[in-house]
Structure 1
């Protein structure tokens, strides 16, 4: 079961869909068929009153099948959307303090007309949810719990929650309601997905009293009250005991003749202070912070016992050893726990800033203290690290520790997770969301919906996941901005500010290109190929990890590369893509031959500079006489013609007669002379009209991407109506750009390996361990290809052991498991695959032994 959309009415900042309400034409003389289609009223939108039927259309927010990112300006209603989803499913929601709240008249939209005229009994917000991908078991339960006839077949339905407890089902294109029987509401509720809230205000603590972990395990602490207190409270008690010793005479002297004497008051105050600290394990915290402290302790417990899989009996033994001050046994247990943490936490998979990051535990003064070892092999306490790391760890632990109580899908909701996180940490968080939506283990697939203000939490590979909310004036309330992702991320800029990710280096790897035309075509092609099922790690670009940087002209590429390579101690990996014209050749020379900086070194190794013309040797077919290949020459002729015709129609305003003169034959004639695709198309467009319209490169590039997107959509939904030549052109487009992206990815992996070589000279064993930590039970073929590619790059130039035997074994593995086909499929017989991979590190030794025997 999947949530397709939520419809909201009269809830907090959500009033009604005024656009639909006021664009309606009730008169029968409407000339446009489109007008009639627009005024279709859903049966649940009509409210019956004594004065007749009143129509209050719901506000519809489509939900992505996997991950939905909700953006908007302050007070635009983003957080209200999260609680609306929870209310629609459960009839109650979680407040900002994580306490459960029942829907009530207080939640009714206060600038709605009906807030004033409606009686309290009916002043409850309304919600409708649309559900799809139903299993047969779910359909059977829905039929049994409602008045739907047994013989009625359906694969989706709408659920109207009215007045909190009343549930009404509508089937698509059927106005008849089917009420869920009151005796079956609880059973019906059980088939709806679970709602899970990822808390964004609870961090992993610096330390935790071990007796608080004991309390979670056994229900009560085992040690003394003193051991149960926090480190700060124990410090206060020690200070108070010092005060008592300093005032020993007050305690030991005979009782004063008068109760109100100064010494008597001082003695009572000291004693009361000690007892107060001993009695109150929360110190001076208020109720809200007490709950946060308990949640922090639970995070520590989940990290140790749930994720690291430390047996709870080990924690009890550790508590006893610490109480008895058994230093040797305590340290032995701590060492074992740390080894388990390193093996099972696998935090570097998500925290890309440091692939040597490790959390370690130490025992000190009845506490378990958490420390960090980073890539410098330096140990830091949590207090010395940023709050962003603590909160990212919190999100990570909440995600990894979650175990669904049943096999039901889950909807994960999170409000502004970017609050404490750095830009890179936000990018890393996207990986957690992706894993929630598409888990590798046996957990059911979930849907994720989060609210953000940050451009770094926008997945640039999936613009279709973005929902933009805006706040209207007066009674309008929250509205959905439709098509926000289809207009170059407008109006995201008004919601997020400048879209930083387009213009600055945000990752460790940058693809330097000549200008925005290259950026638009590469980003557009990468996104379109991903939707077609291409391998993100090999056949397209991961736009969250690779930043495409337009240099503003070919002449600026060397300088921009210099800035990227030389500004910081942490050098980023840089790949350059250039046209194969004279300007591109000059830039190649400056990048690979000219000396820069104080050390007078070249900017890049020539292998990291790719020219479009190089793709000819990899399978791309260019016209025979083409010498100055540009990125537009990867676009098939048919798609270029369709884009030129669309450009002429929409941007140039050409008439249809002139547009018909933009023909493939005319352009092909120019291509045969050696002209580039863009120049040939532009020449044809100019010749087609007496007005001599001129193509501009950037809008033409955007038009090309729009045309490919339209062809993909037709191929998917109306394949019979798509011309054969259009399908061939689409296939050629995919083929050309897959070749380009594979070449770019190979260079990117090599540059990444070179960037990290000096810091951590990875060996075969280390690379293998990283692979199986990330994929212990299964993996896609694409994951294996990336791993083996990195392994082959790692072995290049290594003369310390015979690499030929390992390379031969790698080729054998690639053949045996057909790693050149169906890259997104799972590897069959993964157990044997694991054995073959683990045998790689022994191939060199085996070869050496064979040579020794021959000698």
Structure 2
């Protein structure tokens, strides 16, 4: 099961987060005290792998504490949508006797009383039918039977049929637009009062009337059929297969010297504080990695017991000692063999950790050595710059944290937490920026088996190539935590602007690094443009339609007004005017005109308008995609807001954004902040999930190829004097 989105309500500082879409890796970016932890914690408490008890004093919002405490029915604080895997879908579809599409998505909620609900949003129950459908069934049958010629022996039967049908037609005509299951049952009962046994063996009216009887009975079954949500076995299967959530906010750095008897004692206790519990957990995975239990290491390292008995002679108050006999030669050899075995095991584990750790930690070539001496277990570290061994505690806090972090996930993700969803609160704060960047890459690899959601405020933990996975978290004017996918919506909102600052910084860092690596930067207006173009690039490369000689990077400028600010920075680094792609709306046209008459005079081919590619006036980035692909995605984005789908009225050959906005206005739909970014991410997923969405759409492919060919033919002699 894969988490696709979740929603937090009435939990601590969160009034209503709205639906937060999740990817394999999702980053919640915001300032301190913005409420990032208050988004991860309720998700953890939906199905915690360990701990995660509901604490009213800590979890109820303070403003509503008294109200919620006195409620008989506690409110839901977390709801999540999961995409079920194929095997589970088949099992539930078979149990509930519904199409697989109806139960592909499951919704799970939990309330403050600890109660769960499980439902299937795509399998909404049908409690009524439209009058038009039922009227057509009865009216068509009435017309057909009326037109059939019968003999005298069937005249009474025909009259009875027509009378019954006429009565139903009259009732349906007078009734409301929707017909309930109870009314349908009454119609079926009246149809069944007609005695068809009075008909001839070769009768023509009996089979026709029988068809309407069967169809009405089928309608009754359809509206009376229970939904999968009412199937206890179906709900239990979802709960049983729901992934657990593992929340980590303190990994408990390993100590360099570990006292084994103390470790054994802590592993048996269940009354440890959070800090001690975190350290005990890390020690547990350490010894699991070594493939030895602390007790086994302790026993392998001990000499034969030498019992010292101390007694006090009460007569003279003298202390006397009685020692056990010295070990025999055979016992000495046995002790030596055990110590040798322990040494080999620890040496092997040391080499294994050194090799695996090197793949992730790129801040040096580190070597680890595990050592056990009596009751003590030590971790020694050396590297190429400092070949002498130093205790782990003598090395940087960042190295200690990363080693503890790495061991925890290396072991747990392959064992107890396989397929679990990992919730990481402010990971890697003590790491060097380059190590934080490596940590981000580590997340990508770890997400192959475990979805990851993490909070951060460091730009080095924001992947500028995947801004679609970033959510901005900030505090609104009412003091409530708000989440937004729109990384540009902070204009005029200081709190949100502060939250997305790491994103802007990450983009700037990416641009600087890109220039050093000789990539081709393309300035675009915003994050949605970046998502759309990254999807096109990936698709074309995958299909062999685009073979760049250097990496193409799309740099969001924060809107049309930001283009003039970003352009000279890139130009100064590359000594070439960068390409710019602009929407062909009014702001884009004005910016293009200004650039071509000043900075890009004589290099106007580097300012590309979307309308230049598709030949539609006023076209925007979304119009690079066929309306047949994008319109159904808009329907899903706005689902639940209207009766008529957008795709039914969408017009080809016209810009789609004005159509969407007009449609929303017509149906009184308030388009949320960041809706264009959400649309871009859904389109990207659709394109990359479908192997050939444009295999037959040669016109769209030609447009994409034309655009990217323009990007890859820069004139290295671009005039920079007016640009810098």
Aligned to 2:115: 165
Aligned to 2:586: 649
Matched, 1:399 2:394: no
Separation in 2, partners of 1:452, 1:521: 22
3-state SS of the aligned residue for 2:72? helix
Separation in 1, partners of 2:608, 2:553: 29
Contact 2:11 2:42 in 1 (8 A): yes
Distance 1:315 1:199, change over 3 A: farther
CA shift digits 1:348-385 (9 cap, x unpaired): 1101111x211112344642211112122342221221
Separation in 1, partners of 2:108, 2:420: 18
Aligned to 1:730: 704
CA shift digits 1:163-221 (9 cap, x unpaired): 532414142273677655678865542111122233534112212234567789xx99x
CA shift digits 1:394-420 (9 cap, x unpaired): 111111101566897321111111332
Aligned to 2:20: 61
Distance 1:653 1:552, change over 3 A: closer
3-state SS of the aligned residue for 1:342? helix
Report the structure number with the largest CA radius of gyration. 2
Structure 1 unaligned residues grouped into runs of 5+: 18-58, 221-280, 439-444, 545-549, 558-576, 580-629, 686-699, 741-855
Distance 1:384 1:738, change over 3 A: farther
Distance 1:194 1:651, change over 3 A: same
Separation in 2, partners of 1:333, 1:542: 53
3-state SS of the aligned residue for 2:301? helix
Aligned to 1:8: 8
Aligned counterpart for 1:108 among listed residues 39, 43, 60: 60
Aligned to 1:202: 252
Aligned to 1:298: 284
TM-score by length of 1: 0.48
Contact 1:6 1:128 in 2 (8 A): yes
Distance 1:99 1:336, change over 3 A: closer
Aligned to 1:360: 369
Matched, 1:86 2:95: no
Separation in 2, partners of 1:505, 1:169: 43
3-state SS of the aligned residue for 2:107? strand
Separation in 2, partners of 1:552, 1:293: 50
After TM superposition, the structure 1 = structure 2 runs for residues 207-356 of structure 1, keeping only pairs within 5 Å, are 207-211=257-261, 287-305=273-291, 315=297, 318-320=300-302, 330=339, 333-334=342-343, 337-343=346-352, 345-354=355-364, 356=365
Contact 1:466 1:485 in 2 (8 A): no
Matched, 1:76 2:34: yes
Contact 2:260 2:376 in 1 (8 A): yes
After TM superposition, the structure 1 = structure 2 runs for residues 239-638 of structure 1, keeping only pairs within 5 Å, are 287-305=273-291, 315=297, 318-320=300-302, 330=339, 333-334=342-343, 337-343=346-352, 345-354=355-364, 356-364=365-373, 366-376=375-385, 377-403=387-413, 409-438=419-448, 445-474=449-478, 477-484=480-487, 493-495=497-499, 497=501, 499-503=504-508, 511=516, 524=530, 527-528=534-535, 531-532=538-539, 534=541, 541=551, 557=573, 578-579=575-576, 631-632=578-579
Separation in 1, partners of 2:424, 2:287: 22
Distance 1:556 1:734, change over 3 A: closer
Contact 1:370 1:381 in 2 (8 A): yes
Distance 1:136 1:333, change over 3 A: closer
CA shift digits 1:518-568 (9 cap, x unpaired): 799999598446653858999875989xxxxx99569965xxxxxxxxxxx
Separation in 1, partners of 2:571, 2:706: 31
CA shift digits 1:44-94 (9 cap, x unpaired): xxxxxxxxxxxxxxx221122x01101122322211111221233x3xx58
Separation in 2, partners of 1:676, 1:350: 44
Aligned to 1:823: none
Separation in 2, partners of 1:709, 1:391: 46
3-state SS of the aligned residue for 2:408? helix
Distance 1:300 1:540, change over 3 A: farther
Distance 1:327 1:353, change over 3 A: farther
Offset of 1:650 from its aligned partner?
2.9
Distance 1:185 1:296, change over 3 A: same
Matched, 1:678 2:586: no
After TM superposition, the structure 1 = structure 2 runs for residues 668-817 of structure 1, keeping only pairs within 5 Å, are 676-678=603-605, 724-734=698-708
- RMSD over aligned CA atoms reads 5.4
After TM superposition, the structure 1 = structure 2 runs for residues 25-40 of structure 1, keeping only pairs within 5 Å, are none
3-state SS of the aligned residue for 2:78? strand
Separation in 1, partners of 2:356, 2:264: 25
Separation in 1, partners of 2:372, 2:69: 62
Contact 1:79 1:451 in 2 (8 A): yes
Contact 2:258 2:377 in 1 (8 A): yes
Structure 2 unaligned residues grouped into runs of 5+: 127-226, 306-331, 555-565, 613-617, 631-682, 688-692, 715-724
CA shift digits 1:611-656 (9 cap, x unpaired): xxxxxxxxxxxxxxxxxxx653xx9xxxx7xx4xx345234469xx
3-state SS of the aligned residue for 1:120? coil
Aligned to 1:127: 78
CA shift digits 1:439-463 (9 cap, x unpaired): xxxxxx3211111121111111110
Separation in 2, partners of 1:471, 1:121: 31
Distance 1:178 1:528, change over 3 A: closer
Separation in 1, partners of 2:15, 2:358: 45
CA shift digits 1:91-128 (9 cap, x unpaired): xx58xxx843136486333335x963884322333432
Separation in 2, partners of 1:123, 1:653: 55
3-state SS of the aligned residue for 2:464? coil
Separation in 2, partners of 1:434, 1:415: 17
Separation in 1, partners of 2:342, 2:93: 52
Contact 2:26 2:452 in 1 (8 A): yes
Aligned to 1:691: none
Separation in 2, partners of 1:508, 1:426: 15
Contact 2:260 2:295 in 1 (8 A): no
